[in-house]
Chain A
Amino acid sequence: MEVVVFACQQAVPDPEALKTLWGLSEVRLRVLAEPCSSKVEAFQLLRALATPVDLVWVIGCEESLCRFSEGSHRAGNRMAYTKKYLGEIGLEPARVARSVVTPGDQSALAAIVSEIQDRFQALGPSPLRRAPDAAARRSAP
């Protein structure tokens, strides 16, 4: 089981810190440092989900603090689009999410990590991950 976090380098200067906060040994956390949360495009979020991973999260800065001025705002719009798209194709929109944080706010980061964990517990493994088992059951005599 795997959770992928795309983390803006301003919001999360030390991606290793997120891994330290994680603590769930049975779920692999992969943190990918990005120059801005707006670097992550909708196709990346969807492809990541299709890999499959169980949850994809984007952490960006507060919109007023974005170094690319509009980056965080655009990332928000993109996330809304991705969720809508997932809903349209019959997948769970809750498997992608975005949080914003004030750069350097460690307590906010800890809160985000616990939010990711809660969401993961609530959703369970990705249906795409379960699909091969279901197919195997169907093909069994």
Chain B
Amino acid sequence: MPAKYHIHMRRVPPRFSPLAKNTIIDWGEGCLRCARCVKEQCPVDAYRKRGFDRSQFVDTIDEMCRDCYRCVQGCPRELIYKAGNPQYRHLGDEYWTPEILAATWYQAETGKIPVSGAGYGGPFTGPGFDSIWTDMSEIVRPTRDGIHGREYISTSIDLGRKPMFLTFDEQGELAWSVPPLLELPLPILLAQPSLGASPRGMQEIIVQAAHHLGTLALLARDRLVPVPAEAVGLLMPSYSTGSLNLDDPLLSQVRALEILDQPGVLEQVEALKKRYPEVIVSIKVPGDEKVVTRVAELTAAGAEIIHIYASERARGLGEFQDLHLKDLIRRCHLRLVEDQLRDTVTLLVSGGIALAEHVAKAIICGADGIIADLPLLLALECRLCRQCTKGGKCPVEIDQLNVKRGAQRLVNLMGAWNNQLLEILGAMGMREVRRLRGEVGRAMFLEDLEKEIFAPLFAQREGELKREPT
């Protein structure tokens, strides 16, 4: 029996205090000097351990505080308050919310699944990926010894062209050679984010993390750092328009590469495959208004992997700028199902994949795997201030980050994501992530529910008097 895939996680403390959601306001003036002060009764001893973060000018009490409100309720003079932290609220943007940043930091630090206890007070639905509810019907019937037990749940995916049938010659041998296939132990590839204070350092971190995880590191060929020999097999160089040179020595060492979709791309792939038949080629296609037809054309022409990329906020490009990535994937997937070609090609998607559940939801919509980019930067404590794009100084000094430490944080994040994927698969009663692909029967889409259930329920019957608000 092959060894189970296991991600080795190890706590990597942050170099900078993570900004807390809430902050303590401590009015010392007027203190009664009680014999037993509420501050001494703090369960995490935050008042004694508090310090001052000289790089961020913040009181470190907030990162230790667990929001139990014991001190707030216990102080007889009511001198302690808790309030929302405006510095936390200003993090990120409308898509990359402070909650996403904080959850990513937590996972990168601990490798644990973020759990919010004491009830959930937030909304149960929202735009984009939040409008998909996954099936958890089997959660009441767990396997004998949990999701990490003997009943193995596989998160492996296959990259490459899959033949729909085999033919054999008179001797019973395969009549043609089967296209190369690459099995990844988790449905996530690591790619370099478009921003960051240290692109070269980031590449080294991604290469090392990919080597630990056994997945591919998708990096731009033209700015590639020297890659250690043991990690080069998991490198997936990405070639921009016109930059592919068949004499590139890297081509004989890698197992997969990526080319940007352009006129004549199929001829380029053909020439490449003639010389390097074992290399799997991915074609990177923009998620614009032509994506569905282009994906169908490329698949019919024999493409092995198609990488559909959307915007950083999980929206399409060009005329599809209002279309969410989930709908983009769904349309491409259904078109390939219609053409009876879906199983032949591997669909990878990127752009706006921010949380672990987005991985599962993108796969439910029809992707085989996802490519993570910006969350990798967030895992390195990025505040998403975008100062690096303006030539400013990185507030968390990502350019000075140790490669080993950074790689472990990425491994932790991917470990936490993988465990969440296992939780979802376990709750669905599934044993394979490959089976989740396009499995919309195991999810509910808010748009469909509104159309099929709520619209008829709340529709006004003909001739019915409209109730006026009182």
List the B side residues contacting A47 at CB < 8 Å: 52, 54
Q: What CA separation (Å) do A48 and B53 show in the bound complex? A: 9
Is B29 an interface position by the 8 A CB rule? yes
Is B90 an interface position by the 8 A CB rule? yes
CB distance from A43 to the nearest CB of B (A): 7
Asked whether A41 and B90 contact (CB < 8 A) given A4-B57, A51-B54, the answer is no
Q: What CA separation (Å) do A109 and B83 show in the bound complex? A: 24
Most buried by A among B26, B29, B57, B83: B57
Is B84 an interface position by the 8 A CB rule? yes
Instruction: Contact check, B59 vs A35: say whether CB atoms are below 8 A apart.
Output: no
Nearest CB in chain A to that of B79: its residue: A74
Nearest CB in chain B to that of A7: its residue: B86
Instruction: Contact check, B25 vs A32: say whether CB atoms are below 8 A apart.
Output: no
* Chain B, range 15-69, C-beta contacts under 8 Å to A: 23, 25-29, 52, 54, 57-59
Instruction: Contact check, B25 vs A38: say whether CB atoms are below 8 A apart.
Output: yes
Instruction: Contact check, A77 vs B29: say whether CB atoms are below 8 A apart.
Output: yes
CB distance from B335 to the nearest CB of A (A): 44
CB distance from A44 to the nearest CB of B (A): 6
Instruction: Contact check, B86 vs A33: say whether CB atoms are below 8 A apart.
Output: yes
List the A side residues contacting B26 at CB < 8 Å: 41
Per a CB cutoff under 8 Å, which of A4, A41, A74, A78 touches B59? Answer: A41
Instruction: Contact check, B52 vs A44: say whether CB atoms are below 8 A apart.
Output: yes
Binary contact readout A59-94 vs B (1 if CB under 8 angstroms, 0 otherwise): 000000000101100100110000000000000000
Q: What CA separation (Å) do A35 and B84 show in the bound complex? A: 7
Q: What CA separation (Å) do A74 and B52 show in the bound complex? A: 21
Is B81 an interface position by the 8 A CB rule? yes
Instruction: Contact check, A74 vs B87: say whether CB atoms are below 8 A apart.
Output: no
Instruction: Contact check, B57 vs A35: say whether CB atoms are below 8 A apart.
Output: no
List the B side residues contacting A6 at CB < 8 Å: 57
Is B85 an interface position by the 8 A CB rule? yes
Instruction: Contact check, B58 vs A35: say whether CB atoms are below 8 A apart.
Output: no
Instruction: Contact check, B58 vs A39: say whether CB atoms are below 8 A apart.
Output: no
Nearest CB in chain B to that of A52: its residue: B54
Is A125 an interface position by the 8 A CB rule? no
CB distance from A13 to the nearest CB of B (A): 9
List the A side residues contacting B86 at CB < 8 Å: 9, 33-35
Most buried by A among B27, B29, B84: B27
Instruction: Contact check, B83 vs A35: say whether CB atoms are below 8 A apart.
Output: yes
Asked whether A68 and B25 contact (CB < 8 A) given A15-B90, A36-B83, A44-B52, the answer is yes
List the A side residues contacting B28 at CB < 8 Å: 41
* Chain A, range 2-45, C-beta contacts under 8 Å to B: 4, 6, 9, 15, 30, 32-36, 38-39, 41, 43-44
Most buried by B among A32, A36, A39, A71: A39
Using a CB–CB distance below 8 Å, which chain B residues touch chain A?
23, 25-29, 52, 54, 57-59, 81, 83-87, 90
For this complex, 21 residue pairs linking A to B, each with C-beta atoms less than 8 Å apart, are A4-B57, A15-B90, A32-B58, A33-B86, A33-B90, A34-B86, A34-B87, A35-B84, A38-B27, A39-B25, A39-B83, A41-B28, A44-B52, A44-B59, A47-B52, A51-B54, A68-B25, A71-B25, A71-B27, A74-B29, A77-B29
